[in-house]
Homo-oligomer: A and B are copies of this chain.
């Protein structure tokens, strides 16, 4: 019996609603599936925690997390309480960085029972592989002067190592799928880093001649996600571009509330973190209507990561059955609450 220790961080806003719901589902799945078992331990690290302690997590927070097999996180951010760049760099982005979760994997596909806002999504099925450790997200930069002459500067840093790594990950993944990798670039406007990105892409593709490649500037690619999402298989993107593309692909699925994600540590030194694409959604928090599907699907990615493909498949199947039958939250046109959805998934898992 495989036992996995999972650090659970609901975080802020709807994270506190969807995480408990998804944990419940995972517990039931383990129970009925057998073969593996979870030990969940919850941590209250969040903006509220910051309000009380002046930091997003305790000084030894990372040490504590390090001992777990994975981290299951909801969402971070409550700009009314803590400025976003403080809360995010103090928790979510800190974990991604310190635990070398250098790859962010974000699948998106047409789901039964979830209407896409597109008239013709044609059963699209893609994965964005996002660089998760460098690029446009950096703490390098600062401000100069005051008053009218004030300016802010921010450096984007792209290393060959980090860039190659995410591209190779994308190519390997493509080999298990439809063997097509699309690169998101902006080498026409972003003068230094993006031509570099293109060069590395050209280098890496030489090792994967069996994989079809193409490349779009991010503006055109974002438009294509709307116009023809079904032409993409694996899309490899920088930190920022991957962030933007996966909110779009979430919207194209029907709701950002259903989009799953995995922050993968590839060197085995630290736990990976599983956290959906959506944010803390302060506007709907506390009303029990947040969509738990993104968090539950993210749980399935965690199972896959542990090698339990069957259980992951089973969970996705039941999840889709439930939405297909109309038991779903308002963001995807239903009338159910967060717990109605997760309870129904549990009930069906038990019945199988």
Contacts and interface: CB of A to CB of B under 8 A. Distances in A.
A191 B248 contact: no
A217 B83 CA distance: 13
A93 interface: yes
A103 B88 CA distance: 31
A77 interface: yes
Interface stretch (A26-34, A135-143, A317-325): A135-143
A194 B119 contact: no
Contacts of A148: 160-161
B141 A152 contact: no
Contact of A117 (B87, B118, B256): B118
Interface stretch (A37-45, A239-247, A339-347): A239-247
Interface residues on A, range: 35 or more
Interface in A207-237: 217-220, 222-224, 226-227
Contacts of A117: 118-120, 226-227
A313 interface: no
A251 interface: yes
Nearest to A160: B150
Contacts of A116: 119
Contacts of A246: 219
A137 B222 contact: no
A249 B205 CA distance: 32
Contacts of A284: none
Contacts of A251: 222-224, 226-227
A190 B154 contact: yes
B156 A151 contact: no
Contacts of A149: 159-161
Contact of A223 (B139, B191, B227, B247): B247
A50 interface: no
B189 A240 contact: yes
Nearest to A87: B188
A304 interface: no
Contact of A143 (B154, B196, B223): B196
B153 A193 contact: yes
B247 A139 contact: no
A56 to B, nearest CB: 13
Contact of A252 (B139, B150, B226): B226
Nearest to A134: B151
Nearest to A227: B251
B247 A222 contact: yes
A336 interface: no
Interface string A47-76: 000000000000000000000000000000
B151 A160 contact: yes
A141 B191 contact: yes
A192 B153 CA distance: 7
Interface of A: 77, 83-85, 87-89, 93, 115-120, 136-139, 141-143, 147-161, 186-197, 217-220, 222-224, 226-227, 239-240, 243-244, 246-248, 250-252, 255-256, 279
Given A154-B190, A222-B251, 10 more contacts: A85-B188, A85-B195, A149-B161, A152-B157, A152-B195, A218-B243, A219-B246, A222-B222, A223-B247, A244-B244
17 contacts: A85-B187, A85-B189, A89-B191, A117-B118, A117-B227, A118-B119, A136-B136, A136-B156, A136-B190, A143-B196, A154-B156, A155-B155, A219-B244, A220-B279, A224-B251, A226-B248, A244-B244
